[in-house]
Amino acid sequence: MNSSLYQFTAKALFLFLFCSYNLIGQKAPDSLVVPPTLNKINKEKKLDVSELSALIDTLHFEQETLDTINKLMEEYWANNTFNPYSDTFLKFPFNISFSDTVYASPIDRKKVVTSRYGWRWGRPHHGIDIDLISGDNVRAILDGKVRYVRYHGGHGRTVVIRHENGLETVYAHLSKQLVKENDTVVKGQIIGKGGVTGNARGSHLHLEVRYQGKSINPEYLFDFNKENNIRSKELWVTKKWTNPLKHRSTRRSRVTVYTTEEEAILGKEAESTVYIIRKGDTLWKIARMHQLSVNQLCRLNSIKKTSKLRIGQRIVLN
Ligand SMILES: [Zn+2]
């Protein structure tokens, strides 16, 4: 079904059920009369109170999911800025969900990675370089909406697509852009032709993956193998995977995917320097000792200045 129609139906059904449920629930919880419209929808099902309640829960969940998608798709939508998220603060680890287990290859030939995400020539390389010949098709790796189609400095001719999970993919050095801003694209759709525009040594596709403006090592999310596997439907991204300094463009980083928040928090600790609170410690003392501000320390640990510290509590310092 068309997604806006689906959304409308889900919303209408939810509202209707919610109102009916509340009214009936208050007046006669045991003798639920299924309203005519709902009867029409579920002719054979004949829902009882618990089934109706379960249906409402499901619809509520679906509505929340749709609200999240809409928020991710609509907020910070700008056609004229490469990174419209400059004032957002991202809390780590953050979650990314995929509705699929595979992506579409961005090129039609075998993917040969010539340079990876990481530190390169004393500068950050925020994407992955995939070899191609000028004029080759470049395809959207996931369904989405085109946010940016412009010439962007060193990136040359660039297309940025935003996806429903909030990720943005960036396709750079193109010779031709074949989509318009605000176009809806499907996974595998041709969005341009490969090239050497911008700061490129030889024709290749520079592919970036960003979330709220932060680049993520694409290999953490996608396996650039023949099968085009997405690493996991649920992924938790730690700071390490958004920091080119922690990776080298000439070497493949060892990928251990965090599929739950707990795993990611443990992983974050393994990636960070951890300080264990001792008797007499205060945030001011710890901050001073490690050349940090109290604000930085609070942000890093998602705590308040007024938070009480426990002896033995673990605090990350980076
Ligand atoms: Zn590159």
The CATH number given to whatever domain includes residue 260 is 2.70.70.10
Tell how far the Cα of 215 is from the centroid of ligand 1, in angstroms.
12
Q: Kindly give the distance from the C-alpha atom of residue 151 to the centroid of ligand 1, in angstroms, as a whole number.
A: 15
What is the separation of C-alpha 7 from the centre of its chain, rounded to a whole number of angstroms? 21
pLDDT digits (tens, 9 = 90+) for 172-227: 999 999 999 999 999 999 999 999 999 998 999 999 999 999 999 999 999 999 99
Span 138-184, pLDDT tens digits: 999 999 999 999 999 999 999 999 999 999 999 999 999 999 999 99
Residue 263 sits in the same domain as residue 278: no
Considering the domain architecture, whether residues 120 and 33 belong to the same structural domain is answered as: no
Centre of ligand 1 from the C-alpha of residue 69, in Å: 29
Surrounding ion ligand 1 within 5 Å at CB are 127, 129, 206
Whether 13 and 66 share a structural domain: yes
State residue 170 phi and psi, 5-degree precision: -115, 130
Please provide the DSSP assignment of 9-75 as one string: HHHHHHHHHHHHHHHHHHH-SSSPPPPHHHHHHTTTT---HHHHHHHHHHHHHHHHHHHHHHHHHHT
For residue 38, pLDDT beyond 70: no
Q: Is the pLDDT of residue 1 over 50?
A: no
Q: How far is the CA of 120 from the centre of ligand 1 (A)?
A: 10
pLDDT tens sequence across 250-276: 888 888 889 988 888 887 766 667 788
Query: 99 C-alpha vs ligand 1 centroid, how far in Å?
Result: 27
**262/293 same-domain check:** no
Report yes or no: 117 and 168 within 8 Å, Cβ to Cβ: no
One-letter amino acid identity for 210? R
130 and 205 in contact (C-beta within 8 Å)? yes
In the chain, the percentage of residues whose pLDDT exceeds 70 is 84
Are residues 278 and 245 located together in one domain of the fold? no
Please give the distance, rounded to the nearest whole angstrom, from the Cα atom of residue 210 to the centre of ligand 1: 14
Q: 10 CA distance to ligand 1 centroid (A)?
A: 42
Considering the domain architecture, whether residues 242 and 278 belong to the same structural domain is answered as no
Quick check: is 79 in a domain?
no
User: What six digits make up the tokens of 190?
Assistant: 């041709």
User: Rounded distance, CA 232 to CA 256, Å?
Assistant: 11
158 DSSP 8-state letter: E
Using the mean position of ligand 1's atoms as its centre, give its distance from the Cα of residue 304 in Å: 39
CA of 88 to the centre of ligand 1 (A): 25
Rounded distance from Cα 206 to ligand 1 centre (Å): 4
Residues 153 and 37 in one domain: no
Q: What is the 164 CA–ligand 1 centroid distance (Å)?
A: 25
The answer to whether the beta carbons of residues 247 and 116 sit under 8 Å apart is: yes
From the CA of 207, how far away is ligand 1's center (Å)?
7
DSSP state of 81: -
Distance 129 CA to ligand 1 centre (A): 5
**Other beta carbons less than 10 A from residue 102's beta carbon:** 15
Cα separation, 251 vs 119, in Å, equals 10
153 and 221 both lie in a single domain: yes
Instruction: Give backbone dihedrals phi and psi of 262, rounded to 5 degrees, phi first.
Output: -60, -45
| Count of domains forming the chain | 3
Quote the tokens at residue 239: 């700071």
pTM of the full structure: 0.73
Q: Is the pLDDT of residue 89 over 80?
A: yes
Q: What is the pLDDT of residue 7?
A: 61
Residues 117 and 204 occupy one common structural domain:
yes
Report if residue 51 sits inside a domain.
yes
Q: 4 CA to middle of ligand 1, Å?
A: 36
Q: Which of 52, 74, 67, 49 is nearest to 11 (CA)?
A: 67
Q: Measured between alpha carbons, how far is 115 from 148 in angstroms, rounded to an integer?
A: 24
Distance from the alpha carbon of residue 125 to the mean position of ligand 1, in angstroms: 6
Enclosing domain of residue 259: 94-267
Rounded CA separation 214/211 (Å): 5
